[in-house]
Amino acid sequence: MVSCPYYKSPCKKGGCIGVKNLRLSHTLHNYGVPYLKCDECDDFVWMSDVLTLAEKTKDKGNVRVSFELSVDELCQGIVKKVGMDN
For 18-40, the pLDDT digits (tens) are: 998 888 999 999 898 998 899 99
Domain count of the chain? Answer: 1
Q: What number of other Cβ atoms are within 10 A of residue 36's Cβ? A: 22
Least Cα distance to 37 among 25, 27, 28 occurs for 25
Query: 70 in a domain, yes or no?
Result: yes
Assigned domain for 82 exists: no
pLDDT confidence bin for 12, thresholds 50/70/90:
confident
pLDDT score at 18 = 92
Nearest to 21, CA basis, from 3, 44, 1:
44
Question: What per-residue confidence (pLDDT) applies to 1?
Answer: 46
Give 63's pLDDT tier (boundaries 50, 70, 90): low
Q: How far apart are CA 6 and CA 78, in angstroms?
A: 49
Q: Which residues span the domain enclosing 58?
A: 9-76
Mean local confidence (pLDDT), 45-66: 72
Residue 85 lies in a domain: no
Judge whether 1 lies within some domain.
no
